[in-house]
């Protein structure tokens, strides 16, 4: 690139470019070692007047890409030069050949719309969508669509416009998609819009087999959970590839609100791991075992107040242990008291596979290993 052109583009001084171009018609086509032409350089600095003047002389500069495969439009969007973006878009749309420039993707697969969303320029994103809806179809090298990015950032207006484009892409990293993003963020409004237009996504899992509803459960997003179950209450029966149901996932984290929603929409939700035909896997841990094991008192009390789940208090795992066995192993007097409070149904005489009752486990703890709560638990038993 001629040094005079480089300096003029950097400073935004276009007063002499017509004269230089008259003397040397190819002078405007020169590039820097990075592959930037004078339009790239002036765009970086946001010099709209220079861009306008140089494009009058050489419109082909619009379609040139640098070593990063960036067009001047991509640079303008990335740096948030809104007025310049509008002008460059207008120039690109004048000719069919230049119109394809709008769709250009950089070396990482990002187009102008990806960059607008990634950098938080929502108005620019909406302008780009309106000018060229086909931008919505592109996916980056990281397998991210504009819609996935927009939903991840909770950009409701942008997401809505993208959803209105029938063939827009919704894919995201790691096999996830826009509904996963809405579930993760707890955005029930966006989730509802996605379900209205692309209901099949409710059952599409990511690379780990995690569906949007399991994502909502794992992130404790009960509002999105309600939205998903209002759309299809049978989603509450979902189990992962090991047969682990949603109620057990909630028990692991002590998520009472999630459990309450699951049982509201699905009163007979699975409470222990199941096979594909719905039968229990051996004597697996129930959600009550899991809650006790993880010390979630509030969840334990919630389960025991549910008529359809009170029976879990006496259910045994593959080792023959019931919830009381686990509570005593934890030496947690509050958990033990919560279970014993249901003396009308709890069977304290249940023996595990080694012939031990829950209470007998106390005697096996040596004086050195006895925790501070041992005596309190011993009194309860």
pLDDT-derived band of residue 372, with 50, 70 and 90 as boundaries?
very low
Percent pLDDT > 70 in the chain is: 92
Mean local confidence (pLDDT), 142-150: 98
**Per the structure block, which two tokens stand in for 195?**
């379900």
Mean local confidence (pLDDT), 274-303: 85
How do the residues of the chain divide into helix, strand and coil, expressed in percent and rounded to 5? 60, 0, 40
pLDDT tens readout for residues 316-331: 999 999 999 999 888 8
How far apart are the C-alpha atoms of 220 and 259, rounded to whole Å?
Answer: 10
Main-chain phi, psi angles of 21, to 5 degrees:
-65, -30
Mean local confidence (pLDDT), 26-53: 96
Mean local confidence (pLDDT), 134-157: 98
Domains of the chain: 1-104 (1.25.40.20), 239-380 (1.25.40.20)
Query: What integer pLDDT is reported at residue 275 of this predicted model?
Result: 66
Half-sphere exposure of 195 (CA within 13 A, CB side): 23
Q: Which residue has the tokens 């003029």?
A: 8
How far apart are the C-alpha atoms of 155 and 120, rounded to whole Å?
Answer: 9
pTM of the model: 0.88
| C-alpha distances in Å from residue 34, one per residue of 45, 46, 58, 301, 320 | 16, 18, 20, 65, 70
**Per the structure block, which two tokens stand in for 130?**
């309106």
Cβ contacts of 22 within 8 Å, gap of 6 or more: none
Query: What integer pLDDT is reported at residue 256 of this predicted model?
Result: 97
Percent pLDDT > 90 in the chain is: 82
**Per the structure block, which two tokens stand in for 266?**
């699905």
Q: Is the pLDDT of residue 246 over 70?
A: yes
State the Cα angle at 108 between 96 and 158, rounded to 5°: 65
Mean local confidence (pLDDT), 87-113: 94
Average pLDDT over the chain, rounded to an integer? 92
Query: What integer pLDDT is reported at residue 376 of this predicted model?
Result: 56
Closest CA to 237 of 265, 216, 201: 265
Main-chain phi, psi angles of 50, to 5 degrees:
-65, -45
How far apart are the C-alpha atoms of 46 and 44, rounded to whole Å?
Answer: 6
Of 307-316, 356-365, 371-380, minimum mean pLDDT range? 371-380
- Residue 93: which H helix or E strand, with range? helix 82-93
Mean local confidence (pLDDT), 30-57: 97
Query: What integer pLDDT is reported at residue 249 of this predicted model?
Result: 95
Query: What integer pLDDT is reported at residue 80 of this predicted model?
Result: 96
Mean local confidence (pLDDT), 202-224: 97
Tell me if 50 sits within 8 A of 81, measured CB to CB: no
**Per the structure block, which two tokens stand in for 301?**
């009390």
pLDDT tens readout for residues 250-264: 999 999 999 999 999
Q: Is the pLDDT of residue 274 over 80?
A: no
């Amino acid at each position: 690139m001629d040094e005079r052109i480089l300096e003029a583009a950097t400073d935004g001084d276009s007063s002499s470019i017509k004269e230089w171009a008259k003397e040397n018609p190819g002078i405007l086509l020169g590039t820097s070692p990075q592959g930037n032409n004078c339009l790239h350089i002036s765009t970086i600095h946001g010099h709209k007047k220079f861009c306008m003047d140089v494009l009058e002389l050489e419109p082909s500069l619009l379609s040139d890409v640098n070593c990063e495969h960036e067009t001047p439009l991509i640079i303008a969007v990335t740096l948030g030069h809104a007025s310049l973006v509008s002008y460059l878009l207008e120039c690109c749309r004048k000719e069919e050949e230049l119109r394809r420039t709008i769709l250009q993707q950089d070396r990482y697969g990002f187009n102008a719309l990806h960059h607008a969303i990634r950098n938080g320029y929502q108005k620019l994103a909406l302008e780009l969508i309106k000018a060229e809806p086909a931008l919505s179809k592109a996916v980056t090298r990281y397998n991210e669509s504009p819609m996935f990015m927009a939903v991840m950032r909770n950009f409701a207006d942008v997401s809505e416009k993208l959803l209105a484009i029938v063939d827009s892409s919704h894919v995201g990293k790691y096999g996830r998609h826009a509904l996963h993003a809405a579930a993760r963020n707890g955005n029930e409004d966006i989730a509802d819009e996605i379900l209205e237009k692309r209901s099949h996504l409710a059952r599409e899992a990511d690379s780990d087999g995690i569906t949007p509803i399991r994502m909502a459960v794992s992130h404790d997003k009960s509002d999105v959970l309600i939205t998903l179950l209002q759309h299809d209450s049978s989603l509450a029966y979902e189990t992962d590839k090991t047969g682990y149901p949603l109620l057990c996932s909630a028990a692991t984290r002590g998520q009472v609100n999630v459990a309450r929603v699951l049982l509201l929409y699905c009163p007979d939700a699975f409470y222990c791991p199941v096979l594909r035909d719905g039968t229990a896997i051996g004597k697996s841990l129930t959600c009550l075992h899991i809650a006790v094991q993880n010390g979630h008192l509030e969840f334990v009390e919630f389960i025991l107040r549910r008529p359809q789940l009170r029976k879990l208090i006496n259910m045994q795992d593959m080792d023959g242990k019931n919830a009381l066995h686990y509570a005593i192993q934890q030496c947690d007097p509050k958990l033990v008291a919560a279970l014993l409070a249901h003396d009308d149904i709890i069977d304290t005489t249940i023996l595990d596979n080694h012939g031990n009752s829950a209470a007998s486990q106390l005697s096996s703890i040596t004086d050195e290993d006895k925790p501070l709560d041992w005596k309190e638990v011993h009194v309860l038993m």
